[in-house]
Amino acid sequence: MTQSFISSKPIPVNERLIMALDVPSIDEAKALVEELGDSVVFYKVGMELFMCGDYFGFIEWLKARGKKVFVDLKFFDVPATVGRAIAALSQKGVDLATIHGNDAIMEAAAANKGDLKVLAVTALTSLDRGDLDDLGFQCDVRELVLSRAKRALAIGCDGIVSSGLEVSMLREELDNKLLVITPGVRPVDNREDDDQKRVVTVEDAFQNGADYIVVGRPIRDANNRKAMAETMQAQIAVQFA
């Protein structure tokens, strides 16, 4: 039997599912949140919504409804600029935020995060070995993820974003110290017509050691979105029973 690295962090089970609000307008995002009701507590708001209107007003709208918010903008700029951006974001009641970049960028973010939890991106789940070669990364994907995770932990970031395929390795090497958020999660293993190349199932993500999973398309594109969210919440609950 494969070793289980199930998370022991004191996170409410129904908050371990983060719904990605990858929709083209604030109105559609609000409608989706209302449709899902109490089946989802935690939401990721990313670049698509950032470009279409009142992004921070929408965050306030979510917080007013008791929701948790993950800002996924992958801040990557001059360290001082990233530090100021993270400091400003920490005043918005946001729970999680992503950054990208080198040690200096991570240091600036960690120094200015306040109560905001900062997550370093390791390797996007849409990238495979060929994509990393194109970008000039000659190392193995697992080596890249582990290296960035070790640096993020040493510098003072709260966690990382990592494919579920690498999480068990991270737990073996770094124990339970970092928060690990895993995107590219599917209810079942079905990879056809999927731009996420390094995906895992709900069970695999948590058994490998993820603290949270990020799910978008499987819920967003379901015929009954709330029922799909409830199904995935039930799959998660089984892992922590």
Per-residue model confidence as pLDDT tens digits over 165-223: 889 999 999 888 899 999 988 876 554 444 444 478 999 999 999 999 999 999 999 99
Specify whether the CB–CB gap between 176 and 192 falls below 8 A: no
Higher pLDDT, 137 or 94: 94
Judged against a pLDDT cut of 70, whether residue 134 lies above it is answered with no
pLDDT value at position 63?
97
pLDDT value at position 129?
52
Residues 6 or more apart from 105 whose CB is under 8 A from it? 75, 76, 77, 79, 82, 99
Judged against a pLDDT cut of 80, whether residue 135 lies above it is answered with no
pLDDT value at position 130?
58
Q: How confident is the model at residue 122 (pLDDT cuts 50, 70, 90)?
A: confident
pLDDT value at position 193?
47
CA distances to 28, 71, 97, 190, 218 from 89, rounded to whole Å, are 23, 9, 9, 36, 29
CA–CA separation, 15 and 181 (whole Å): 12
Residues with catalytic function: 74
Q: Encode pLDDT of 82-121 as tens digits.
A: 999 999 999 999 999 999 888 999 999 999 999 999 999 8
Q: How confident is the model at residue 1 (pLDDT cuts 50, 70, 90)?
A: very low
Q: What residues does each domain of the chain span?
A: 13-239
Write down the mean pLDDT value for the chain: 89
CA–CA separation, 230 and 146 (whole Å): 33
The CATH number of 13-239, from 3.30.70.240, 3.40.50.300, 3.20.20.70, 3.20.20.60, is 3.20.20.70
Q: Encode pLDDT of 11-60 as tens digits.
A: 999 999 999 999 999 999 999 999 999 999 999 999 999 998 899 999 99
